[in-house]
Amino acid sequence: MRKKQFIGIVLAAGMLFAAGCGGKTEIAEPGQSGQDVSGTEEGNGEVKEIEEAGENHAEEGEEVFGQLGDENIFSKGNTFTWEEITISIPDYWEGKYQIEQNENGFSLIQTASYEKLEGMGFLFGFYRTDRVVLEEPAATPLAYTDTQTYYMSEPTDVNYYFEDKQISEEYQKMYEYIWAVSGTLEIDKEGVRYNPDEFILPLSSTVLLKEEDSLLNFSDNDLFIARNEIYARHGRQFDSDYLQKYFESCSWYEGTIPAKEFDESVLSRIEKDNLQIIKEAEKAYEAEHPYPKEYAIGSSVIEDLDNLHGDGKPEEIQYYINESEEQGKYNSFLTINGQEYWLEDYGIHLEEPVRDVFYVVNLFDEWSGEEPDELAIAVLDNGSAENPVTHFLSYNGKLSYIGSVQGFPFKQKSGFNGFSLYGRITGIVPLEFPHTCYGDGQWNYDLESGKLEKQEFGWYRLFPEAAHELYEDLTVYTDMDAAGMKTVIPAQEKVFFMEVWTEDGKDGWVLLKGKDGTKGYIHILDGKIVGDEDRGEASKELKEVFSGL
């Protein structure tokens, strides 16, 4: 039986997103209130039973949910079992919920809302499916076997009786516990694994992808990872630094076979077939999203740069870089329809330019597969101190500088496509918090101003980086809440920094993940990890706890 150890009480619910092994990041569009609350792929499946709940207690002496703190939100030992799935029920829920069951799983419902309006009160549900791809709204995979995925589904719309304040407040308080409940999930079946969030397609090595397992909603980044995780399961190493570091952060990955020595005969028939299906999906994606296009410097390129506002005729483009007489200086210029445009005149001073390729990009791809919406030219500079930057220029009868993005958002250069999000470019930003590293940055293209605008969210998913040794056991929070539930990442050789939340670049929260799969947040103030008062821990400098800082 899987055991987890927590401290305290959850005060807020939230999902953990990680840079490596994070699964898909796209979220389905919300549904409408009043829809079937089961959340299963069958939708309006036949309901087996709706029962009042709260009286099913664990056997005396059975450990349901290990605690390190004084407050145990499961102290009464209430549990519910549906076939092979067992969860613990928070004390606060007693007498306030009921359960709806069908052939795929069960939903937990607030009784007060349901009694006011049938179909309301859905809190969340646990289900199983033999499909490879989850397409249910707000579905989060929690576990899997070789043939099935177990997942939790949350509401996608208001699902409580909001006209009654008392009922509304009760529902919202009940909802705060859903991630604590999901942490108690136990599945009584052989071969259960609880790390599906470390895969794009957890079943891709054992279950054949079918036509109904649509990959159309996957970005090319998702498909790229999904294809290579089939190889990674067999210990293949990768020449791509991005892929290698991505998989290194996965608890299941043990890369021992150099890419050139990998023998594909170890792949099963199902794996080979799924590889081909994913490759076809990648080709389909590229056909619908032909940009960014890579071109050799000095070649003649034909593209309709001013498609939206121009004369409807394509432009002939060349890009040249010449080293100037002054050492370390470069003269770079574009020619468009025979007219020269020197980049220095647009404030672009290249320090260490990429001298083999440039790109034409679609800055506002509507995912329609039709004509491009807003094309631009992208020139790349390695910059100084390993801080690469990409400069963008648009053309509408005249050339205009529209902004720069840190990093190279091109799969050929960095391992990921930074143009897969609607109207947004994903680059990288250098960070000094929690240490010197790179995080994902976001730049929006504003149609009105015709400029790229950097977005400041205070959250950065860290670009996959090398591991750090954790010198000692470390208490971490399951959410960014010092009064919330806690667990312990044991000392180990490989721990990864996954994401950071910071407003000033000095203080904030950092998501950690051990190679053993344990993860949680640490709170950093004044450059120190805030110690857990319940365990008498003092605050410590990061370098006292981690190597390589």
Which architecture, in CATH terms, is 199-288? Answer: Up-down Bundle (1.20)
Q: What is the pLDDT of residue 17?
A: 33
The mean pLDDT value of the chain amounts to 85
Q: What is the pLDDT of residue 213?
A: 85
Q: What is the pLDDT of residue 481?
A: 87
Rounded distance between C-alpha atoms, residue 97 and residue 403, angstroms: 54
Query: What does the block give as tokens for 456?
Result: 């400041």
Give pLDDT tens digits for 317-364.
999 998 776 666 788 999 999 999 999 999 999 999 999 999 999 987
Give the C-alpha distances (Å, rounded to integers) separating 230 from 60, 211, 253, 274, 400. 44, 19, 11, 9, 44
What's the average model confidence in pLDDT over 67-77? 69
Task: Look at strands 492-502 and 468-470 and give their pairing.
Answer: antiparallel
User: Buried (b) or exposed (e) across 445-479, using 16+ Cβ within 10 A?
Assistant: beeeeebbeeeeeebbbbbbbebbebeeebbbbbb
Task: Look at strands 5-6 and 66-67 and give their pairing.
Answer: parallel
Q: Which residue has the tokens 């840079």?
A: 19
What's the average model confidence in pLDDT over 89-96? 96
Provide the residue ranges of all domains of the chain, joining segments of one domain with +: 31-194, 199-288, 293-419+421-461
Top pLDDT among 135 and 503 is at 503
Query: What does the block give as tokens for 493?
Result: 């050789």
Q: Is 527 left (phi over 0), alpha (psi -120 to 50) or beta?
A: left
Task: Look at strands 139-144 and 149-153 and give their pairing.
Answer: antiparallel
Give pLDDT tens digits for 186-231.
999 999 999 999 999 999 999 999 988 889 889 999 999 999 999 9
The closest alpha carbon to 175, from 68, 78, 96, belongs to 96
DSSP string, 357-372: EEEEEETT--SSSSS-
Give pLDDT tens digits for 101-123.
999 999 999 999 999 998 899 99
What's the average model confidence in pLDDT over 50-66? 44
DSSP 65: S
Rounded distance between C-alpha atoms, residue 307 and residue 396, angstroms: 9
